[in-house]
Amino acid sequence: MTNPAQTVKVAAGFERHLLPRVWGWIEPHREKLMGDHDPQSVQEFMASWDHPNILANSFTVKVDGELGGVVRFSAVRRGIAEAVAFFPRYTFRQNVLQQGLAEALRSYFAANADLRKVEWRGMLDQSAQVVGALRPIGGRKEATVEHGALQGGRWVKVVQVGILREAVI
């Protein structure tokens, strides 16, 4: 649960200059969270945000005015988008993660009338956190992909979680 004194706000867009700070949250846990084909350095991470629509289709989460997370969306096929979220670990216990995800989802669905579903994918060993954060806001585990990603040169399972428009709006 969030601290009653905390204010969590979600705003459309994300400022590129904040990406090194987000990488700082990821880097210590990168080997568990990301596959071999995901960014391996802050430079690669920043380059992965260079498509013109990525920053525009992202949402900044602020906690008491400070950066507390970012959620980015990208269309994968008609009516379906994929989401990736980056939050520092302390937000997992304070409901900031869940609140930030819920607000970003509501905003993204509201801005995209033809969008029917948003999908998240995560490594199986991290799936309890992903499913746990998304379940209260309508997320449902849809699949486990046996050979979903290479991690450390080995195939690992990836969990897919989906959220339907009806669950959010």
Tens digit of pLDDT for each residue in 97-115? Answer: 888 999 999 999 999 999 9
Q: What is the Cα–Cα distance from 57 to 53, expressed in whole angstroms?
A: 6
Looking at residue 94, what is its pLDDT? 67
Enclosing H/E stretch for 162: strand 154-164
Ordered by start, the domain boundaries in the chain are 8-168
Task: Give yes or no for a contact between 41 and 134, defined as CB atoms under 8 angstroms apart.
Answer: no
CA angle, residues 3, 167, 65, in degrees to nearest 5: 30
CA angle, residues 157, 160, 162, in degrees to nearest 5: 170
Query: What is the average pLDDT across 58-67?
Result: 92
Higher pLDDT, 90 or 87: 87
Distance of CA 63 to the CA centre of its chain: 16
Rounded to the nearest integer, the mean pLDDT of the chain is: 88
- 8-168: CATH topology is Aminopeptidase (3.40.630)
Q: What is the Cα–Cα distance from 12 to 61, expressed in whole angstroms?
A: 9
Q: What is the dihedral of CA 111, 129, 48, 158, to 10 degrees?
A: -110
DSSP 115: -
Query: What is the average pLDDT across 120-131?
Result: 75
